[in-house]
Amino acid sequence: MDAPAHRNQGRFLRARSPTGQLLAEIFAFARSFAGFARGRAARAVLLVVLATLSEGLGLILLVPLLEISGETATPSRLTRAVSEGFELVGLTTAGGMLAGIVGLFVVAMIARGALLASRQILLAEIESSYLIDRQKTVIGLLGRAGWGSIAGVRHSRILHLLGTEIYRVGQAAVGLVESCVAVMAIAVYAAISLYLDAALSLLAFVLLGVSALIARGLLQRARRLGEFTNDAHLSLLNDVTQFLGAMKLAMSQNLQTSFVSQFGRSLDRMLVAEIGFVAEQNRVRFVLTVLGTLTVAAIATFGVAYAKVPAAVLLTFIVIISRLSGPALQLHSHLLNLVRTLPAVRTLDGLVAELQTRTIAADPSPLAFQDIRLEQVHYIHPGSDTPESRQAGIADVSLSIAKGGFIGLAGASGGGKTTLADLIVGLHAPQSGRILVGGAEVNLTERPAWRDHLSYVAQDAFLLNDTVKENLLWSHPGASAREIAEALEVSGAGEVVNRLPNGLETVVGERGALVSGGERQMIALARALIRRPRLLILDEATNAIDVGRESKILERLNALRPELTIILIAHRAESLRFCDEICILGEGRIVRRGSYASLREQLVAISKSDLEGSI
């Protein structure tokens, strides 16, 4: 789009009225939903129209039924048309015609019931599949997004959308579908009423239009309530997530009291807003009910006193208008539901659009595990390019890692050790420099097959709120009992399992809260080993384990070479004694490298400095 056209469009959007903006959002959602439903939406529309026509047919049969049974002197055109039709099939007596009309009425109502049942099943299928499709879309985009591009996305935002808000999106779909159903029902009833009497129909439409104008303001209030609810739910979930993440710290300082009070106040504000809207909604509904009653009274008065409408036609017309008020009230209710939940649709669409820009192209071809070489690799984390944060990454690092090697990375916190490991994993792509595998340059972020060769164990070992066994099987669901036992033996977690009350079936709690930090690390290490990786990266993964037990674990890991290549990030000097080569990093660069013996004094000094800094 050229610049002038873009500016004109911007002025148009800014000039659009609140009602116009609301209608634009509804139509945009309707197009998106229709694009998903496709042929099923057309079938649903057909079923709605046929069901409403069946009911309408049953209602307009009241006219010939009343006129034939009452032997009206001047029957209406509808009665004459029905009589002529019955005469063609040999029904000429009043009794025969009445029986035929009753028969048609029964058939019409049975057909309506069957069509309504089919319609509801189809609509439920469309609504449910749409909701599932939205959830799959978000999860699929998360799975295809690069780590560096989604690491900054708030977890509470994702949980909010996939939890509370995704069902509000489902409610929006229901509101849209049911609104369309009500509109089509109103259209069919309006067509039937026009057929019966155009003048009475015009009067009814004018009065119903007044009702619509009265209800319009409530739609804007529903939209504001929806936006408030959307923001409030996200804020509450964010607060709860942060509180649960720091619950131990909060409870140790009695900070949970203020959290509970703040949470309660937020819920009270939501309750006041919700009750106020419901009260307003019911006041408007009462006004609409009164207007509907006055509409029927006005039609009856006008039809009898001025239009001289036949009694049977007038009675049938009043029944149809009364029936039309039902879909009209439903349309109002479902539109409110749709408008209230549109903010959730907008938020979900925004997240999907954002994640689509963060996806990375994946090369599915296999990538064999070979020697790894980094040449002049440079990566600075986004937002870390100020003079105060120059060290937040690595700069011009070159390093060779041979198959079966045991490489140690040491240095002060913030020196770039974890960033270097993340580049080798393929979580980040170098901003300059090259990574070579087997002598060939590769972009590891685009090669998911590379990560099939490795296991990564971080300092903060993550465990599922499940049994020890399920935690172990998470990385390799098909692992045998023998593979589990071997991994437990090497990692030292076998001793932990033997002490637990239910062994492998013991539940470890949320994030492993029911076991100690060292036990979590050993279980996480066992889980990593069950994958039978070719490359094992340990990022401070044993720092919560006592030195003696850690030494035995590292000795057993060392015995798995040359089938296993190990990269160990550690602060404790003793942890690095099995390494073939140790690289000391500072401010994102390798400042020294060598054997454990040659670097031992410096490693001890780094370890002591880190210990003093943590006190």
Structural domain range at position 98 = 16-356
Rounded-to-10 torsion of CA 189, 193, 194, 198: -150
Residue 311 and residue 422 in one domain: no
Residue 134 and residue 110 in one domain: yes
Residue 419 and residue 312 in one domain: no
Residue that terminates a domain, selected from 299, 331, 356:
356
d(CA 327, CA 49): 13
Average pLDDT on 392-410 reads 92
Inter-residue contact 453 to 447 (CB < 8 Å)? no
Residue 452 and residue 574 in one domain: yes
Regarding beta strands 565-569 and 535-539, do their DSSP bridges make them parallel or antiparallel, or are they unpaired?
Answer: parallel
Closest CA to 78 of 193, 208, 214: 193
The pLDDT confidence band at residue 405, using thresholds 50, 70 and 90, is very high
Average pLDDT on 565-588 reads 91
Residue 545 and residue 438 in one domain: yes
pLDDT of residue 595: 92
d(CA 478, CA 439): 33
φ, ψ for residue 335, nearest 5 deg = -65, -40
Residue 573 and residue 609 in one domain: yes
Residue that terminates a domain, selected from 356, 391, 418:
356
d(CA 504, CA 36): 45
pLDDT of residue 375: 94
- Give whole-number Cα distances, 384 to 240, 378, 391, 398, 544, in Å: 29, 13, 8, 21, 29
Asked whether residue 454 is assigned to any structural domain, the reply reads: yes
The pLDDT confidence band at residue 329, using thresholds 50, 70 and 90, is confident
**N-terminal to C-terminal alpha carbon distance within the chain:** 59
pLDDT of residue 255: 63
Residue that terminates a domain, selected from 323, 356, 389:
356
Residue 478 and residue 376 in one domain: yes
Provide the angle, in degrees to the nearest 10, between the axes of the packed helices 18-37 and 39-60: 110
Inter-residue contact 431 to 378 (CB < 8 Å)? yes
Residue 221 and residue 167 in one domain: yes
Residue 316 and residue 377 in one domain: no
Average pLDDT on 131-140 reads 85
Domain count for the chain: 2
pLDDT of residue 524: 92
- Give whole-number Cα distances, 6 to 16, 21, 113, 357, in Å: 15, 18, 51, 22
Of 147-156, 285-294, 389-398, 430-439, least confident by mean pLDDT is: 147-156
Asked whether residue 366 is assigned to any structural domain, the reply reads: no
Residue 505 sits in a domain whose CATH number is 3.40.50.300
Asked whether residue 367 is assigned to any structural domain, the reply reads: no
Asked whether residue 244 is assigned to any structural domain, the reply reads: yes
Residue 342 and residue 377 in one domain: no
Is the pLDDT at 614 greater than 60? The verdict is: no
Residue 327 and residue 387 in one domain: no
The neighbouring-strand residues paired with 593 are 583
Q: Buried b / exposed e across 309-325, counting CB within 10 Å, b at 16+? A: bbebbbbbbbebbebbb
Gyration radius (Cα) of the chain, Å: 36
Asked whether residue 4 is assigned to any structural domain, the reply reads: no
**27 vs 389, which has greater pLDDT?**
27
Rounded-to-10 torsion of CA 177, 182, 186, 188: 60
Asked whether residue 552 is assigned to any structural domain, the reply reads: yes
pLDDT of residue 609: 66
Average pLDDT on 183-212 reads 77
- Which helix (H) or strand (E) segment holds residue 324: the answer is helix 311-356
- Which helix (H) or strand (E) segment holds residue 398: the answer is strand 393-401
Q: What mean pLDDT, rounded, does the chain reach?
A: 80
Q: Which tokens belong to 311?
A: 């009694």
Strands, sheet with 393-401, edge to edge from the N-terminal-most edge strand: 393-401, 372-380, 432-437, 440-441
Is the pLDDT at 562 greater than 70? The verdict is: yes
> Which range has highest mean pLDDT (277-286, 308-317, 355-364)?
355-364
Asked whether residue 499 is assigned to any structural domain, the reply reads: yes
pLDDT of residue 307: 64
The pLDDT confidence band at residue 219, using thresholds 50, 70 and 90, is low
Residue 271 and residue 381 in one domain: no
d(CA 332, CA 284): 10
Provide the angle, in degrees to the nearest 10, between the axes of the packed helices 62-70 and 311-356: 170
Residue 77 sits in a domain whose CATH number is 1.20.1560.10
The pLDDT confidence band at residue 50, using thresholds 50, 70 and 90, is confident
d(CA 384, CA 388): 8
pLDDT of residue 362: 79
Asked whether residue 5 is assigned to any structural domain, the reply reads: no
Is the pLDDT at 6 greater than 60? The verdict is: no
